[in-house]
Amino acid sequence: MLTKGAELFSGDTVLTNEGQTQFRFSDGSIVSLQPGSEYRIVDYRFNGAADGTEKGFFSLLKGGLRTITGLVGRANRDNYKVSTSVATIGIRGTQYSVTYGNSINVNTGEGVVEVCNGRGCLLLYPGDEGYVQSDDTPPLLVQNGDEKVGKEDLLQSFDSPIEQRTAGGASAAVGLVGTQTYATAWAYIGVDKGTGVGAGTINSSGILTDFETGSGTTGANVAGGNSVQSFGNDGVVAWGRWIDNGSGFTGALSGGEGAVVHYVTGIPTADSQPALASMYGTSATFSLLGGGVTGASSGAGSVTSGSMNVNFTTATVTSLALGISVGGNSYNLAGGGYTISGFGSAVVFSGGSSSATGGSCGAGCAADVVGQFLGAGAARAGAAFKFDDGQSIAGAAAFKNNATR
């Protein structure tokens, strides 16, 4: 039986039964446990200063807690973790609460909380609520907080640099970089489009320099003098374009002076269809992260808007819409009925019907669209497209799943 003023040590477990309890750690953190909670102090160390030896590892076995964190974890986030059977919670200088039964709900009051398991990571900002159903489903955002909060400024306000996380929760470089297996959707102006899964390389600047097209590998041939551009890289998905300055691409896409390839790439989604259907039911919505487009004669344009609706139960992308501006014209590209395949390895979509309206297309020019899902739990998606309006137009767009960060 705990009494007021009693000391707690590493290895101790606190059971609240029908009561509530609150305790303060020597680093200044405060933990309040709700009735019916079981909380274990796995490893706590603090010698009075944040010198790198401090640790705060805890387990919430059941029940609920509210906490204001202290000095442990402030300088080194990896030194603080609260574990449950379905996810692990890390901090970026925070006040938050957790409710845990067979699943967990996490609410953030101040600062930023990171919720991770083997299927991915979710950052929660002030007012956000995250939910994790089980250890084999990714953390999901179920309530969005105050959009007026300067979220990037908030992240930067803490001493440690922003870092990305792999699907397994391990630290990774900022942005998506390195040589590994990528799923890439690409569109080559006036020539072809496709999706490919295989070894590729994203350089230290976050730009894709070679990838698998679906019929062999290709390279941008930067060493030969060609140009590569990044339009975005958020650590899960990257998009950009290659421009052939006369040296030719290597491998499957031969290139030629003036040739342009747009790409969107990332770690392929490998979830099964039942798993994705269980996560999102008959409706998963995606919104535009960014994109790029080029006209063969008019040059670079922009992707101004975009959305996508997906039914994982029927394995169908039911609708996709893009707003495109290029060559002084505005276009609306719309399509649907794309078939999703590759569940369990690399989830992609193709087929369906697409058309672009606007410019000289009038009521519609036939368009081609292919794409893929990226990250654990289909956290991102990409689509490559092309159509002809007196000039060949091609581009690519990246989307984020609105249920995840």
Phi/psi of residue 222, nearest 5 degrees: -65, -35
Cβ pair 44, 57 in contact under 8 A: yes
Distance between first and last Cα of the chain: 42
Q: Residue 386, SS3?
A: strand
Query: Measured between alpha carbons, how far is residue 303 from residues 251, 271, 279, 340, 390 in Å?
Result: 29, 29, 29, 24, 19
In terms of Cβ atoms closer than 10 Å to its own Cβ (0-12, 13-18, 19+), residue 355 is: middle
Burial code of 160-183, b = ≥16 C-beta within 10 A, e = fewer?
eeeebbbbebeebeebbbeeeebb
> What does the alpha-carbon distance between residue 303 and residue 57 come to, in Å, rounded to a whole number?
45
Beta-strand (E) ranges in 155-269? 164-165, 171-172, 178-188, 192-202, 208-212, 217-219, 227-233, 237-243, 250-251, 260-266
Rg (CA), the chain: 24
The predicted structure's pLDDT at residue 161: 32
Q: What is the pLDDT along the chain (405 residues), one digit of tens a residue?
A: 677 788 899 999 999 988 888 889 998 888 999 999 999 999 999 988 777 889 999 999 999 998 988 888 877 778 899 999 888 888 765 688 898 877 888 988 877 788 887 777 787 878 888 888 887 777 887 776 654 344 444 444 433 333 333 333 333 333 688 899 999 999 998 788 999 999 999 988 789 999 999 999 999 999 999 999 988 888 889 999 999 998 999 999 987 778 999 999 999 999 999 999 998 988 999 999 999 999 998 889 999 999 999 999 999 999 999 999 998 999 999 999 999 999 999 999 999 999 999 998 988 899 999 999 998 889 999 999 999 998 999 999 999 999 876
In the chain, what is the greatest distance between 2 CA atoms, to the nearest angstrom? 81
